[in-house]
Amino acid sequence: MSLKLNMTGNLLLEGGAEFGGRMRDPDLKAIELAGGFEAPIRIIPTAAAPDNNHQRAGNNGIRWFQSLGAKDVVSLPLTDKASANDAGIAKSLQAAKFIYMLGGFTGYLGETLTGSPAWEAVLEAYRDGAVIAGSSAGAMVMCEFYYDPSARRVVKGLNLVPNSLVLPHHNTFGKSWAPQLTKQLPAVTLIGIDEQTGMLDDGAGTWMVYGRGGVTVYRNGQVEIHEAGKAFSV
């Protein structure tokens, strides 16, 4: 049985170029599913920490969600293994109704969260109905596998979406990873998500595309393209 079947929340995977333009479409829907504009939103800026960009990126996220009408938005100081083990940060995540992981350094994000109290708190929030979201690197680590471009290798992810791997920024550079990864992982579903585009699940296995672009699915030797407003399964 997959992890997803035991959960009651929703998942949002975004392709990058977040916090602007048509990203309002999936993000507003996620806020609605989280309980509305009063719902606590917690941003995880970990992936932006290696180049010391986490504060700026987190503040961009705060401004973005506030511009959409959200009232309770906090970017958490979760930047390394020590803070991923912090009880206060874990408590804040467990109480959240919408948790958003920023883009940046994919391998660093995955390694920092794996096995940590912070990630256990995210899972607990998900079981309690929260929306768990990620953009670019954030979306990548949510899958069973992710491609770490800095190390040029496939790594086990956090497995919220089993038997899958996200290709972010698909309409710009992500699509260039597809030929190699379809050969390396022939039984795994590759999910190419365009920039300013998100895919949001309904908690029962169906995903809807929102935003400016589309989602390209590579599986069983076939390529499927799903545009905004279209539903599909993974």
pLDDT of residue 203: 85
pLDDT of residue 7: 53
Beta 98-101 vs 41-44: how paired, if at all? parallel
Span 113-141, pLDDT tens digits: 999 999 999 999 999 999 999 999 999 99
Strand partners, 75: 43
Closest CA to 209 of 188, 223, 225, 222: 225
CB-based contacts of 185, cutoff 8 Å, min separation 6: 145, 154, 165
pLDDT of residue 65: 98
The model's confidence at residue 6, banded by pLDDT at 50, 70 and 90, is: very low
Question: Which phi-psi region, left, alpha or beta, contains residue 141 (left: φ > 0; alpha: ψ -120 to 50)?
Answer: alpha
Q: What is the CA radius of gyration of the chain?
A: 16
Share in percent of the chain as helix, strand, coil (round to 5)? 35, 30, 35
Query: How would you write 54-92 as a 3-class SS string?
Result: HHHHHHHHHHHHHHCCCCCEEECCCCCHHHHCCHHHHHH
Please give the Cα distance from 224 to 234 (Å, whole number): 11
Separation of CA 63 from chain center: 19
pLDDT of residue 103: 97
The model's confidence at residue 8, banded by pLDDT at 50, 70 and 90, is: confident
pLDDT at 62 over 60: yes
Q: Structure pTM?
A: 0.95
pLDDT of residue 5: 41
